[in-house]
Amino acid sequence: MVKSPTLRLLVGLLVTLAAVAVYSWYTLRQLNGLRQLQTDTIDRNRRDSLQLLRMQNDLSQIGLALRDMASGGEPYGIAAYENELAGKRADLEDALKTEARLSPDNRSPQQQKELTNALRQFWQTTGETFAFAKAGQEKRAQQLAATTLPAQQSALASVVARLLFKNNEAEEQAAARVAIIYNRVGRNIYAFLAAMLVGIILTSLYLIDSIKRLFAEVESLSQQRRILAAKLITVQEEVLRSVSRELHDEFGQILTAVGAMLGRAERKGLPPDSPLRAELTEVRQITQETLEKMRALSQMLHPAVLDDYGLVKGLDWYTQLFQKQTGIETTLDVNGDIQRITGQAAIHCFRIVQEALNNAAKHAKTMRAEVSLDFGPDQLTAAVRDYGVGIVQDRKAREPGLGLVAMKERAELLRGSLSVEKALGGGTVVKLHLPLPQEEGQAYLTQQRQEAQTATHD
Ligand SMILES: Nc1ncnc2c1ncn2[C@@H]1O[C@H](COP(=O)(O)OP(=O)(O)OP(=O)(O)O)[C@@H](O)[C@H]1O
Ligand SMILES: [Mg+2]
């Protein structure tokens, strides 16, 4: 018995689904990590860098203003720059606030403090400078604008530049991490695809092997079934033939002898009006009727005419009998170069026509049936056509009969083919195609058995 591959396939399917689920979960996690890295580090870094650039821009404008203040070119003195610097201070502080919010995770509090302190110092000195200017100490204010303030401004600018550089570095590191994740995901996708491919190839090979085994098993079972059916039909025919011969030869002889003896006894000096003579006549008639019935039965079991005269005569006899028994008008039409068909071929062909006619009587509700035999050079076509209701495919019908199955088996035994179809214009036509000349059925049976043995050994 071939084991069903269903359980293994189901387990395989479950393992595959689990692998796909785990892999999908893993990939989604990696992609989420990537997205997080993108928003948390790279985008934030860029926005922070923008604020630092804004500060750098403010500082360079402040630098220009300090140069003018130090040169003393302004007629209203240094105090005239207070508003301009106040505007820059407001912008710088706004930038500083936003920048502190966006500052990347890797920024140390020390670095942040350095920036805040440098700014505080600068504005403190700026305040002192304007205070000196307002107090009329223009020279002192100019000195501060020329020395301390530019120094503090450039210190501030270099802190901002360092922070910008750090941001750039952090961005490069993030890009490197993204590349690593991409490479890892890419490698895993290839590994996963390769594993799936191997899985698919192995499953397909297993499936192909299972199907091959199943087909071999079905083929072997079908061979065995065919042999069994052939054997059954052959044995059935042999039994019928021997019972028929027994009935005809043994009992027929006995009844014939009994009839003859009764006839002789009747004539042995009994007066014509003797009651014993009348009884003897009656018994002789009963014996005669029994003999005729027995001969008819013997013919039905196995028509001797088939052995003596062949298929055509056998069917001629049977169609007439069938018409007489059923009242269905039945004709036999023979065409082509008639060949004498006897033995197994004759009996199987006869049984097929017999079953087709019986089916017509049982199911077709017809009053007419036609049997035809067409002899070709290498094929005989036997057809039985009725004009009845036709075959209706009813799957829910009561227990299916065996007639059609046996007809097909018999056709196969003769290496022929059988078809049952709706006839044009209504009714059913059963067609049997037989290759000619026909060999003896036993030879076919032996060959079938040999084929089955070869198939089993394969
Ligand atoms: N000539 C026909 N006209 C209409 N229906 C038919 C004809 N021949 C067969 N059938 C249908 O096909 C079915 C199968 O026929 P089959 O000879 O195999 O079985 P059966 O005659 O019912 O039983 P069994 O032959 O075993 O006594 C029949 O039951 C009948 O419905
Ligand atoms: Mg039948």
- Per-residue pLDDT of 395-447, as tens digits, reads 665 667 789 999 999 998 888 999 999 998 889 999 999 998 776 544 445 55
Q: What is the pLDDT of residue 441?
A: 46
Question: How many angstroms does the Cα of residue 341 sit away from the middle of ligand 1?
Answer: 27
d(CA 6, CA 210): 10
Q: What is the pLDDT of residue 214?
A: 92
For tokens 């802190």, name the residue. 159
**Residue 283 within a domain:** no
What's the chain's average pLDDT? 88
**Same domain for 323 and 436:** yes
**Same domain for 190 and 330:** no
For tokens 């500052």, name the residue. 103
Question: Is the model more confident about 447 or about 72?
Answer: 72
**Residue 45 within a domain:** yes
**Residue 284 within a domain:** no
pLDDT over 90 percentage in the chain: 50
We report the CATH number of the domain holding residue 361 as: 3.30.565.10
What CA–CA distances, in Å, run from 141 to 78, 124, 152, 407?
7, 13, 15, 128
**Residue 101 within a domain:** yes
Name every residue whose Cβ is closer than 8 Å to that of residue 69 and which is 6 or more positions away in sequence.
78, 81, 129, 141, 142, 145, 149
Helix crossing, 441-457 with 343-359: angle to 10°?
Answer: 90
d(CA 6, CA 1): 15
Q: What is the pLDDT of residue 3?
A: 74
Question: How many angstroms does the Cα of residue 396 sit away from the middle of ligand 1?
Answer: 14
We report the CATH number of the domain holding residue 37 as: 1.20.120.1730
Question: How many angstroms does the Cα of residue 408 sit away from the middle of ligand 2?
Answer: 12
**Same domain for 152 and 18:** yes
Q: What is the pLDDT of residue 418?
A: 96
d(CA 449, CA 441): 13
Condensed to tens digits (0 to 9), the pLDDT of residues 237-254 reads 999 999 999 998 899 999
Q: What is the pLDDT of residue 272?
A: 75
Query: Which amino acid, residue 393?
Result: Q
Question: Is the model more confident about 454 or about 175?
Answer: 175
DSSP character for 376? -
Question: How many angstroms does the Cα of residue 398 sit away from the middle of ligand 1?
Answer: 11
Residues composing the chain: 458
Q: Are 430 and 418 in contact (CB under 8 A)?
A: yes
Question: Is the beta carbon of 369 within 6 A of some atom in ligand 1?
Answer: no
Q: What is the pLDDT of residue 99?
A: 87
3-state secondary structure of 357: helix
By most ligand atoms within 8 Å of CB, the mutation choice from 233, 322, 330, 359 for ligand 1 is 359
Q: Which pair of structure tokens corresponds to residue 151?
A: 């120094």
Question: Is the beta carbon of 428 within 6 A of some atom in ligand 1?
Answer: yes
By most ligand atoms within 8 Å of CB, the mutation choice from 362, 430, 431 for ligand 1 is 362
d(CA 20, CA 14): 10
* Atom number in ligand 1 closest to CA 364: 3
**Residue 186 within a domain:** yes
For residue 420, give the ligand nearest its CA.
1
Whose CA is closest to atom 8 on ligand 1? 359
Domain total in the chain: 2
Whose CA is closest to atom 1 on ligand 1? 360
Question: Is the beta carbon of 402 within 6 A of some atom in ligand 1?
Answer: yes
Q: For the chain, what is the radius of gyration of the CA atoms?
A: 57
Condensed to tens digits (0 to 9), the pLDDT of residues 266-307 reads 888 777 778 888 888 899 999 999 999 999 899 889 998 888
Whose CA is closest to atom 3 on ligand 1? 364
pTM attached to this predicted model: 0.63
**Residue 228 within a domain:** no
Question: Comparing 33-47, 119-133, 216-230, 374-388, which segment has the lowest mean pLDDT?
Answer: 33-47
Question: Is the beta carbon of 403 within 6 A of some atom in ligand 1?
Answer: yes
> To 5 degrees, how large is the angle CA 232–CA 237–CA 242?
130
Condensed to tens digits (0 to 9), the pLDDT of residues 321-376 reads 999 999 999 999 999 999 889 888 999 999 999 999 999 999 999 999 999 999 99
Q: Which pair of structure tokens corresponds to residue 213?
A: 């085994």
Whose CA is closest to atom 19 on ligand 1? 401
**Same domain for 323 and 193:** no
Structural domain harbouring 106: 6-209
Whose CA is closest to atom 14 on ligand 1? 401
**Residue 354 within a domain:** yes
Domain-terminating residue out of 190, 209, 228: 209
3-state secondary structure of 291: helix
Question: Is the model more confident about 145 or about 400?
Answer: 145
d(CA 151, CA 126): 12
Domain-terminating residue out of 186, 209, 232: 209
Q: What is the pLDDT of residue 442?
A: 47
Question: Is the beta carbon of 357 within 6 A of some atom in ligand 1?
Answer: no
**Same domain for 326 and 184:** no
Q: Are 61 and 105 in contact (CB under 8 A)?
A: no
* Atom number in ligand 1 closest to CA 430: 1
Domain-terminating residue out of 209, 240, 256: 209
**Same domain for 309 and 182:** no
Q: Are 128 and 144 in contact (CB under 8 A)?
A: yes
Condensed to tens digits (0 to 9), the pLDDT of residues 164-184 reads 998 888 888 888 888 888 898
Question: Is the beta carbon of 388 within 6 A of some atom in ligand 1?
Answer: yes
d(CA 303, CA 237): 11
Section 128-133 average pLDDT: 91
**Residue 287 within a domain:** no
3-state secondary structure of 381: strand
